[in-house]
Amino acid sequence: MKNLLSMLMELLQPNRISRLRRLVQAGFFLFILFAGWRFYLFFLWASGRSADFVTRSPAIEGFLPIGALVSLKRLILTGNYDTIHPAGLTIFLAALAIGFFFRKGFCAWICPIGFVSNLAEAVGKKLRVLVTPPVWLDYPLLSLKFLLLAFFTYIILWKMDLQAIEGFIATPYNLVVDAKMLLFFLEPSFLSLWIMIFLVAVSFFIRNFWCRYLCPYGALLGVLAFFGPVYVRRKPENCIDCHKCNRICPAAIKVSEKTTVRSPECIGCLECVAVCPQKECLNLTAVGSKNLPLITLPVAVVGLFLAFWLVAVLSGHWQSNAPPELLKALYMSDLKAVAHP
């Protein structure tokens, strides 16, 4: 017990923040693998391929952020919480809250795709194949995720009225969208397969390719983080221009050239602060307060996420109210023929 406590205290030291982040990421990644496996077993039962009933895992709804955005608009307009995919809306709300208060902490500490991207980056470093895109290419690519965000924002928040939203919520497509997502990976089309192969392969050569250039979810959280109260502050008078912060930053931010790091690309990983050799040069700071201990951010990120989950469970906003037998009837049909409304 004493050894376990000492190991925990060591992980909480500023210079161990990277290892702590990997452990937290790995924990959430293993959980989502378990949730995905449970959903696959439910899918086998619902599609008539297995006689063993397994409860559907709600956590996989976290991979349905577009539907969650639709549900969020409905919640704002009517006060009604989504009962078909409530966990998806809960996870989305948690990510938004974390994004505003604790930068893109959801991306840095929780997102399983971010974890896989980090692993690909580590392999690329090991093989010495990582390259940094030139500025003339990097900047246009950076705009892609914001263009995707603008598109979905326009379609959902501007174009869709309440009648269209209610119509979408009630469609068979919305009921089986999680199963269609599963089939997208289990039985991909030729084009989808090659797109996935490309995204995985390019991540070994270009750091965080999906997260940095294509993820509209991350773009939304970045916009919120830009206006948030927590950020990294640099004191130029204490800087020795070692540029270690620049080299380690997964978002390729030139930390050594800034006084405050408020970039929408900053994910709140705290790697720059942890690697800085100078005391009182880089600090985690909140508006109107003194410097914060580094451990504050990961504890707050994970704590806030779990708080949303707990409130959702206790208030009945986690499990879907869609009857398993109804889902089974839909799953037994040709899922690929269930088209988007």
Residue linked to tokens 């050569």 = 205
Ranges assigned E (strand) in 35-139: none
Torsion of CA 92, 95, 97, 98, to 10 degrees: 170
Interatomic CA distance for residues 219 and 312, integer angstroms: 25
Average of pLDDT values for 60-86? Answer: 97
**Residue 261 CB coordination number (10 Å):** 24
pLDDT value at 134 more than 70: yes
pLDDT value at 8 more than 90: no
Task: Give the pLDDT band (50/70/90) at residue 139.
Answer: very high
3-state DSSP assignment of residue 254 = coil
**Residue 234 and residue 255 in contact, taking contact as beta carbons nearer than 8 Å:** yes
Task: Give the pLDDT band (50/70/90) at residue 333.
Answer: confident
pLDDT at 334: 80
Q: Name beta bridge partners: 286.
A: 230
Task: Give the pLDDT band (50/70/90) at residue 339.
Answer: confident
pLDDT at 2: 52
Return the closest-CA partner of residue 91 out of 121, 57, 137, 43: 57
pLDDT value at 12 more than 70: no
Listed by start position, the domains of the chain span 14-48+64-316
Average of pLDDT values for 213-241? Answer: 96
Residue linked to tokens 């604790």 = 102
3-state DSSP assignment of residue 268 = coil
pLDDT at 3: 56
pLDDT at 128: 94
Task: Give the pLDDT band (50/70/90) at residue 86.
Answer: very high
Task: Give the pLDDT band (50/70/90) at residue 118.
Answer: very high
pLDDT at 222: 98
**Residue 278 and residue 241 in contact, taking contact as beta carbons nearer than 8 Å:** no
Residues 6+ away with beta carbon under 8 Å from 86: 58, 61, 312, 317, 318, 319, 320
Any idea which of 4-13, 75-84, 148-157 has the lowest mean pLDDT? Answer: 4-13
At 147-187, the pLDDT tens digits run: 999 999 999 999 999 999 999 998 999 999 999 999 999 99
Mean pLDDT of the chain: 93
Interatomic CA distance for residues 251 and 245, integer angstroms: 11
Average of pLDDT values for 79-100? Answer: 98
pLDDT at 4: 46
Average of pLDDT values for 75-100? Answer: 98
pLDDT value at 15 more than 90: no
Joined together, the tokens standing for residue 250 give 């997964």
Terminal alpha carbon distance of the chain: 57
Kindly state the greatest CA–CA separation across the chain: 68
Question: 83-100: buried (b, 16+ CB within 10 Å) or exposed (e) per residue?
Answer: ebbbbbbbbbbbbbbbbb
Interatomic CA distance for residues 91 and 68, integer angstroms: 9
Q: pTM for the complete prediction?
A: 0.93
Q: How far is CA 160 from CA 65, 145, 329, in A?
A: 16, 21, 29
Interatomic CA distance for residues 294 and 79, integer angstroms: 37
Return the closest-CA partner of residue 165 out of 90, 77, 244, 96: 77
Any idea which of 112-126, 205-219, 278-292, 306-320 has the lowest mean pLDDT? Answer: 278-292
pLDDT at 10: 53
Average of pLDDT values for 268-273? Answer: 96
CA 60 to chain centroid, in Å, comes to 12
